[in-house]
Structure 1
Amino acid sequence: MDVPFYQHDLGEPELEAVRQVLAGPILTTGEVAVTFERRFADYLGSRHALAVSSCTGALHLSLLGLGVGAGDQVITTPMTFIATSTAILEAGARPIFVDVEPETGNLDASLIEAAITERTKAIIPVHLYGQMCDMRAIRRIADRHGLFVIEDAAHCIEGVRDGVRPGELADTACFSFYATKNLTCGEGGALVTNNESLYASMKLLRLHGMTKTAADRHKEGYQHWDMTALGWKYNMDNLHAALLLPQLNRLDAKLESRHRLARLYEERLSGLKDISWPQNIPGSRHARHLFPIWIDRGRRDRIIASLQRSGVGVVVNYRAIHLLTYFQQTFSHRAGDFPIAERIGDQTLSLPFYPTMPDEHVDWVVSALRSAL
């Protein structure tokens, strides 16, 4: 049996939404993208949303909009996808890593203040696997030191912790609609903010710093536009937005399916020796983007090979960033700098996980894992 790591469930509603865009005159950013922004902001309880081409773009725009740049430092985690750090580098700043919680893999808020210097400008916590960081603690630290907070919520649209949702306590929160995400259009992203002036600044930076879009010119007739800032090409088009809109209606129902699947995995995996997984924070709602396990005793890579021979699709989320070649060569990071992130990076393995995954596929994955162990 072959069990894919992920399988989307896009279908007729998404096809019909795209057909409607194709029947109209505007394929680039227009009313469909604006409608998605409004509904996405409403879902999260935020005042404003900007649809963009990727979560990386959302992170970069957030940094630029907040004035983070050359000579600045941004505190973040080494246990995440590389884009969290490369967005900081693209803004001209430097990522400063702190280690993670051993129970969750999330940024350890208790370690942040020791890493703050006179050059620190912002904190980027990452809600790993779909479970939120301690945003109340991080906001208190940021307020004490006059720092911005940008949430990397690529895994965590649906998450809640301590009554707080992504974007509620941060200057911005950034999301991914990549091919395997809970809400997907293949490639895409968004950010939300409650700051009116910051929203206006980022909206300008999203499209070259131009004061008029193609949709504006179509609706109003040609008018001379101006370029008032050095912006980027990060806007989302109507076609990608059309794919996202029908999924918003199913987001909470799909989350329930993910929770049921996670419970099934936990039941089937209980009792297996040398296997653990991140703890769920009491009183929180996990977005359940991934189902990772941690494999003890240095066997992770051999287990990967065995599962793949059994037809099971697997992914590693993630190897510790600071040990990747670029970061070692550029910033002189070495093994031992962030031991908990390194341990997780050496042990972690994400099992197949998507809302329509049949129960018998879970049984097959667990059986293959038991044999591999």
Structure 2
Amino acid sequence: MPGVLATAVTRPRIVGVGTAVTAASYSQQEVLDAFGITDPKVRSVFLNSAIERRNLALPPEDAHGIRTPESQGDLLDKHKALALEMGGEALRACLKEAGAELSDLRHLCCVTSTGLLVPGISALLIRELGIDRHCSRSDIVGMGCNAGLNALGVVAGWSAAHPGELAVVLCVEACSAAYAVDSTMRTAVVNSLFGDGAAAVALMTGESPALSPAKDEAPAVLKFASCVIPEAVDAMRYDWDRDQSRFSFFLDPQIPYVVGAHAELVVDRLLAGTGLRRSDIRHWLVHSGGKKVIDAVVVNLGLTRHDVRHTVGVLRDHGNVSSGSFLFSYERLLEEGVTRPGEYGVLMTMGPGSTIETALIRW
């Protein structure tokens, strides 16, 4: 058996997952109504997105019932408040599922692209939650929707170097803090897609008395593979809008096809040297990037709708929650209780760069 698979017992295992969203949930029609959007083209983008509801913290109404655009400073304040609220909830849920306590945490890696904080979310959460001040930490900022797997790769390396110690990757995306309001189709596409969400995943290499014996059967993280598409580096970006004096996200209409065209390349690289074929993968946890992105991945990898049922369900219920989307899907897979020892799964995310990130896991 290839070495990458034979040594799975010594590799980091996913021992817990937890998610959280903001309090208010809106249908696409309710968002259109909240901002008084009547443009038929914009309404069509919202209502044909395969999204039913999203969690959002919309700007408050003024005395006339109108929601006005927030300043960049107000959006940064929103990002901080929502990140700490959702992040703390997702972290606690993850540790509970792992059978661990805050006191067991030895490394905390926080991921976000919806705001900049110095000190970062990791330091603020350590203070907010009373985590041990000696807990090591890292913050990954600005890598976009693919960043959850980038972080998982980095923290898997930390975990392998610290057997018996608990590490957590926490993706916190307050997409409401990146919500711009104008009449452009560029903004309409973005505003129709993203929702607030946080997701945490716990890793452990080897055994630990802090965890239950059942966690020994948790899936091992075996391998990662990446693909950067330099010719599409500007196809997804979050940059400064001088007209509105705030950051604004841009999605090129061609991005689903660009991602789809490269999906096969990176998955084949992921499986190279393992002796596995795509047909050997039992579980696919793909980023809920949008209806067209999901369709492009399905077509190019030869997947079924059943393979991406969790991806589609997360998009339907929460929209695109950026870096943590694949963990929302992973949590749904675990709730089904259908995984069996020896089965393989592929995690896949996509984001600015343009990039595709993948990981191979085995139960």
Q: One fold, TM greater than 0.5?
A: no
TM-score w.r.t. the length of structure 1 is 0.27
Larger radius of gyration: 1
